[in-house]
Amino acid sequence: MNQPYIFESNKNSELGGSDAVIMLPDIYGQTDYSKRSVEEFADAFKKPVFMLDYFYLITNKVNNFTEVDREKAHSLMQNFKGDDFVTFFKKVLGEIKEVYPAITQFIVIGFCFGGRLAYIAGGEDRVCKVVSFYGGGPHTPNYIEDKTPIEYIISKRREGGLQVVSFFGTQDKSIPESDRQKIKEEFAKSTIVYESYEYNAGHAYFQEGRPNYNAPASQASLEVLQKVLNN
């Protein structure tokens, strides 16, 4: 891919099949640990994997932040528009399809803020599975089309055909138990197949390189992820 906002696994050209993974990283963007996750996912799932730098929409450049840039990254998150993301995401799917015409459907895996956007990405009918790792703000009011991210995905996928899996850390204060329960209740009233998994871990526990990395919880999540993506 020749788009700066799309980072792809160096194994993609060797991997075939009709399914591809789009990874939406946390607010720190194209970090070393996120790029490592792209390669690890390609190895584990044997599918092409692409990472979308969604903040490119605002900055018009590749984004790779550190904890020192936390305030700047949070400012970008606060100013990010869900409606703009939908247009951008559709454009990206088309660009990937042009280079890899055999791909017919997409699996979206998002982390943190990317986990919130993963719910929104699930509104696109070319997405067959959504995986949200500790996606914050799932019930943010008026976030997209006057709906919350969860309300939006449910409204767009009334005919079913979508699986959503959420991972949470029970020690993650940014996503309290009440929020997690509300997600379950809303999806239970929809045609979307929903599963959630919780671990005794904090926020951002999955990727090695994050301060709250929790190896046992990460490995357990990866085993679930393997089943979900290979089912």
Q: How confident is the model at residue 84 (pLDDT cuts 50, 70, 90)?
A: very high
Structure token pair of residue 7: 């980072």
Q: Give pLDDT tens digits for 167-205.
A: 999 999 999 999 999 999 999 999 999 999 999 999 999
Q: What is the pLDDT of residue 130?
A: 98
Q: How confident is the model at residue 2 (pLDDT cuts 50, 70, 90)?
A: confident
Q: Which residues pair with 175 in a beta bridge?
A: none
| Stated pTM of the model | 0.97
**pLDDT mean over 64-93:** 96
Q: Which residues pair with 213 in a beta bridge?
A: none
Structure token pair of residue 112: 């943190």
Residues 6+ apart with CB under 8 A from 87: none
Cβ atoms of 136 and 124 closer than 8 Å: no
In CATH, what class is 6-230?
A: alpha beta
Residues 6+ apart with CB under 8 A from 151: 186
pLDDT of residue 78 exceeding 80, the answer is yes
Q: How confident is the model at residue 231 (pLDDT cuts 50, 70, 90)?
A: confident
Cβ atoms of 157 and 163 closer than 8 Å: no
Nearest partner of 79 among 103, 113, 49, judged by Cα? 113
pLDDT of residue 131 exceeding 90, the answer is yes
Q: How confident is the model at residue 87 (pLDDT cuts 50, 70, 90)?
A: very high
Q: How confident is the model at residue 1 (pLDDT cuts 50, 70, 90)?
A: confident
Sign of torsion, CA 24 25 30 32? negative
What percentage of residues in the chain have a pLDDT greater than 70?
Answer: 100
Residues 6+ apart with CB under 8 A from 205: 134, 169, 172, 199, 212, 213, 214, 217, 218
Q: What is the pLDDT of residue 127?
A: 98
Cα–Cα distance measured from residue 175 to residue 169, given in angstroms and rounded to the nearest whole number: 8
| Domain residue limits, the chain | 6-230
Residues 6+ apart with CB under 8 A from 54: 5, 24, 80, 85, 88, 114, 117
Q: Give pLDDT tens digits for 112-126.
A: 999 999 999 999 999
Cα–Cα distance measured from residue 115 to residue 130, given in angstroms and rounded to the nearest whole number: 9
Structure token pair of residue 37: 């996750």
Q: How confident is the model at residue 16 (pLDDT cuts 50, 70, 90)?
A: confident
